[in-house]
Amino acid sequence: MELVHVEQRGPVATVTLDSPENRNALSSRLLAQLAAALDGARDDASVRVVVLTGTGSVFCSGADLAERLHPPAEEPVTLPEVLARLVQLPKPVVVRVNGHVRAGGFGLVAAGDLAVAPASATFALTEVRVGVAPAMVAVPVLRVMDRRAFTRYALTGETFTAAEAAATGLLSASVGDDELDRWVGAAVGALLEGAPRALAASKGLADLVGGRPWDEALARATGLSAELFASPEAAEGMAAFLEKRSPRWATQP
């Protein structure tokens, strides 16, 4: 059964979680198919931007609790491995949150580079209410979400709004329900104006320099900057700017 669909239109690959009967829960089959979809997008040179979304009224409800009670003999792909794929994908990932987000679904939202949700979506870290903790998702979530806010919601399990999720840093934006696709389209269009290698480098900047001593961070940044300025992409980009034309990589979705 296909639980994850991939549709490519030009340079944009849309990856859709399609298991609405269990609210797009992170079953072993869904995780394996999601990992395969991300690997395919990574390896396909024609794909420059990935949009991750879902079907139904829930983006992702977290772990498949029924499966956790009776786990499969083999778990081919784990949630941490999928989150690592999202973070390490050398292409921008836009998370189009189509509905409510619960528990492990936070990890998918936080591991994307941009994330937007409609005002009608709600969020809750519900793990403590079933006797566990949001341990794995804390790794990507605490990269983007305010620590105080994360601690509050992880402890209380209370529901909060998309606007509040945006205020904590979990989302890039909260928009009206009828504005969701327009926001995603504008974001994708802006990303396609960037050079592929420069986008990959920019995506990794927070990990490259974040939290490091000043001298070390500056040395790392200086080395990366020199490498990028010496690249063919930079030569094309600067030439295009001076010649008042679009660079060769600039495309539209």
Q: pLDDT digits over 105-135, tens only? A: 999 999 999 999 999 999 999 999 999 999 9
Residue 83: closest CA among 120, 59, 61, 112: 112
Question: 4-191, superfamily in CATH?
Answer: 2-enoyl-CoA Hydratase; Chain A, domain 1 (3.90.226.10)
Each residue of 216-241: pLDDT tens digit? 999 999 999 999 999 999 999 999 99
The alpha helices in the chain, defined as continuous H runs, are 28-43, 65-69, 79-88, 105-111, 135-144, 147-156, 162-168, 180-191, 196-203, 205-209, 214-229, 232-242
**Which residues 6+ apart lie within 8 Å of 133 measured at CB?**
127, 154
Specify the pLDDT at position 253: 60
Torsion on CA atoms 92, 93, 94, 96, rounded to nearest 10: 170
Each residue of 173-189: pLDDT tens digit? 999 999 999 999 999 99
Please say whether the beta carbons of 99 and 57 come within 8 A.
yes
* Gyration radius (Cα) of the chain, Å: 19
Sorted by where each begins, the domain ranges of the chain are: 4-191, 196-242
Task: Give the tokens for residue 195.
Answer: 């050079």
Torsion 172-178-181-182 (CA) sign: negative
pTM of the model: 0.94
Please say whether the beta carbons of 118 and 175 come within 8 A.
yes
Question: What is residue 26's DSSP assignment?
Answer: B
Q: What is the mean pLDDT of the chain?
A: 94
Specify the pLDDT at position 152: 98
Each residue of 51-67: pLDDT tens digit? 999 999 999 999 998 88
Specify the pLDDT at position 252: 63
